[in-house]
Chain A
């Protein structure tokens, strides 16, 4: 398939067809509603609905002779995204954490926001167990020590915060 191939947007079409239905449905009913011929195109619809089910956007409510019965989850909401600034800091923390222990300077370098903002977010993340203090190092420009942090669980960080 080349870069100039027209997008089908099958997922969006399936989503729209599912939202119209009030009663539970099977994948084949959705495929028929989209006027898709039997064969690979109808199979693609079943796969798309399977993906939606995995994400929680549809619920499996039973089984019929023709396959599983689904219902569109109208309460489904895409994971809420933090405010833009906070998101930059969170992404910066995650990328800094991929290289091991990091300091607020490492986060500042990537996020480009104020140090106080980064400190506030790091304290909050530490309290919630997303990061932990991994040690201390000498400050570069002044006296004393500064904390080095590490991300405790990258998968959890990505899933719950981003």
Chain B
């Protein structure tokens, strides 16, 4: 399987939002923004890919970090330095933003302490740096509990469920398989709109195709793959993931 990145509608809206946050000509300026969605919708993948392709900075999930540690991580990503003191961190970030504005993406922000989110809000104001908070749906209620933060969020995006068209494109790119409408229906239903079951079903189909004389994914094979995804979902393979859409 070729693990191709599929530029879905979610991904395109995400990239547009990031470009708007980074742009000096943008009307919203260097703001706070939020990306939410259930696990498995491709939020982290989209963020990592965007950070790889541009000058944006991605702060990987690590829930034990204090606000100061997050600040030092941001300094390290921007300038490969970890100043000892908080005020030096703030000055460095401000200096770097004045030199070259870059988007800072903080993943699993819903699991961060409120102190950390308040610190990021302060950082956004002090250093004029655009910050994107990424997290599951809990992030919305967490942020909403603080007017100081929610009032500064100028853009918000929720990743919608993976569409049948996105899934079909992934099968096309990954396995070079054109799916028939009935196969798409079976597989999409088993995916619950998330990428992880889709990846599993692709692997199941790929192994079956290479082990047999089959040239295409039949409805029978699709049902097998769907059953495998359902079994994984019921065993809790993807945590709380697998909501019906």
Q: List A residues at the B interface (Cβ < 8 Å).
A: 1-5, 7, 9, 11-12, 47-48, 51, 54-55, 79, 88, 91-92, 95-96, 98, 105-106, 108-112, 140-141, 155, 158-159, 162
Contact = CB atoms under 8 A, between A and B. Distances in A.
A92 to B, nearest CB: 4
Contacts of B4: 109
Given A109-B4, A109-B5, A92 B125 contact: no
Contacts of A4: 29
Contact of B53 (A9, A12, A112): A112
19 contacts: A3-B125, A3-B128, A5-B128, A7-B128, A48-B95, A51-B91, A79-B80, A92-B52, A96-B48, A98-B60, A105-B2, A109-B3, A109-B4, A110-B48, A140-B203, A141-B2, A158-B77, A159-B80, A162-B80
A112 B98 contact: no
Across the A-B interface, give the 5 residue pairs with the lowest CB-CB distance, nearest first.
A92-B52, A140-B1, A110-B52, A91-B52, A105-B3
Interface of B: 1-5, 29-31, 45, 48-49, 51-53, 58, 60, 76-77, 79-81, 83, 87-88, 91-92, 95, 98-99, 124-126, 128, 152, 203, 206, 210
A3 B210 CA distance: 57
Contacts of A109: 3-5, 45, 49
B95 A51 contact: yes
